[in-house]
Chain A
Amino acid sequence: MDIFIQQIINGLVLGSIYALVALGYTMVYGIMGLINFAHGEVVMIGAMVALFVIKALAGLPVFVTLPLALAAAAGVCMAVGFTIERVAYRPLRRAPKLAPLITAIGVSIILQNLAMLIWGRNYHAFPPILPTSDHEIFGATITSLQIVIIVIAALMMAGLTLLVQRTRLGRAMRATSENPPIAQLMGVNINQIISATFVIGSALAAVAGLMVSANYSIAHYYMGFMLGLKAFTAAVLGGIGNLAGAMLGGILLGIIESLGAGYIGDLTGGFLGSHYQDIFAFFVLIGVLIFRPSGLIGERIAERA
């Protein structure tokens, strides 16, 4: 029972991070029908920038370094997201869908290699930013850092929901996602809306990058690849194009993975260990694609004419 609750807590932490990244995939898909496979790399860049700001400011109190690291990471990622769309995707707006998809993979490779050139191939230890104090609930432990991750992720998701549901920009984003030509007739400059979508998604990615590195105490130029795939899985699980779906899918996937990792040893009689954690995401992806391609709360997507 202790293990169960512990794994649920770990899953919530992991799931909050997946959810933030999944939102970036789902927002871009909802507006332009593109799967931005470079999004995982934006998360990695966020982690790397945050890491180097924190290292550079070592010795200062955490309430100074953390906001600065977050701001720097978000700023760089927003610029990167904006540039990716402008340079790589906008020229392909009217191209067949395969072209931007392949371009996305290309952008991903370019960003990985740039990161490798800038920050090297080594794993970087992420310094502890919060005092490692443990709290006990229901016989399981949760660290201060984990609480902070869950709270910040929840706040960001609530903020995004308010933005999309209540503001003029959010309405324009939804209108563009429903019917781009008609949105234009209303006076919406679609290029601006698409740029805004990339910038917002990238800011969420930056926060997620800082969180995941702090949580695992490690950052690496290749970390965005697996994280991106899993967040994409989470978006598909919830129903890609649907914001609530991305949040639900992220949390669920985190919990599935944690429970899977916690029990895989018992289930296979010790044959497979918890380092097989990653296989669960892909079982989920395959399962969803076979049995419920529209996702848990997504609508059935008919190919748009």
Chain B
Amino acid sequence: MLEVTGLRVAYGGIQAVRGITFHVEQGEMVALIGANGAGKTSTLKALSRLLNASGGSVRYCGKEISALAPHQLVAEGIALVPEGRGVFPRMSIVENLLMGAYSRRDKEGIAADTKHVFSLFPRLKERAQQLAGTLSGGEQQMLAIGRALMSRPKLLLLDEPSMGLAPLMVQKIFEVVCTVAKEGMTVLLVEQNAKLALEVSQRGYVMESGEITLTDDAKSLLANPKVREAYLGE
């Protein structure tokens, strides 16, 4: 479904992503793990076109998407939950969800999907009219994921959904991500929390200093001594 070949991202003279190649198949959940500064977020930003890649190709469903404008990706079926959540703080929860459905015109479908998001995250329903800026970090993360789902994406890109959250909240959010994946969503999960990410994914890629250094199915990566030493703190 997603084929990334030789992707490069540079900030000025500094190479953040040095020609990485990976792919995500339809219906898969794939983890991209690595330490802070390994280039994971830059990769996602290049995929979602918030950053210009300096080289390589990104094919999605057989179509080259590396020249599209960021606002065109939603229509293709790609949604990003950005690092740091990026909710609109001075808009209510409902308005944030409506922004997620901005590319759609089917009123009934939007109403149904709002209900679906509220059933996934009952916390959001209780606070439907509250401004997003007044929510806790975990609630904002729920909202960011719910908002992304509102565009009915085929491919969901998640950037560090566990960042800065209490363990209990992380657990809740990952439960929902797994539910969504089981319903057939294709997910690319970028995480520093390698253990968590590999436990829920089918395959994983390990990124170091802008390069992919290791790839395997998630179980094998979890058992791999190098991964255990570098990312699981053993």
Contact = CB atoms under 8 A, between A and B. Distances in A.
Given A179-B86, A182-B88, A186-B151, A171 B99 contact: yes
Interface string A105-117: 0000000000000
Interface stretch (A8-16, A187-195, A262-270, A280-288): A187-195
Contacts of A184: 50, 69-71
A183 B82 CA distance: 12
A185 B48 contact: yes
A175 interface: yes
A128 interface: no
B198 interface: no
Nearest to B50: A181
Nearest to B104: A187
A172 B72 CA distance: 15
Given A186-B100, A186-B103, A178 B74 contact: no
A174 interface: yes
A94 interface: no
A187 B74 CA distance: 6
Nearest to A183: B99
A189 B73 CA distance: 11
Contacts, number: 64
Interface string A123-166: 00000000000000000000000000000000000000000000
A190 B71 CA distance: 8
Nearest to B157: A185
A8 B89 CA distance: 38
Interface string B68-95: 0111111100011010001011110001
B88 A178 contact: yes
Interface of B: 48, 50, 69-75, 79-80, 82, 86, 88-91, 95, 98-100, 102-103, 147, 151
A187 B98 CA distance: 12
Nearest to B49: A184
Contacts of A179: 86, 88
Contacts of B48: 185
Contacts of A304: none
Interface of A: 168, 171-172, 174-175, 178-179, 181-190
A70 to B, nearest CB: 32
A185 B80 contact: yes
B103 A187 contact: yes
B151 A187 contact: yes
A156 to B, nearest CB: 23
B111 to A, nearest CB: 14
B74 A186 contact: yes
B95 A182 contact: no
Among B86, B88, B91, chain A packs the most CB atoms within 10 A around the CB of B88
A188 B102 contact: yes
* Nearest 4 Cβ contacts at the A-B interface: A187-B103, A187-B74, A184-B70, A182-B86
Among A172, A184, A190, chain B packs the most CB atoms within 10 A around the CB of A184
Contacts of A183: 99
A171 B95 contact: yes
A174 B88 contact: yes
Contacts of A188: 71, 99, 102
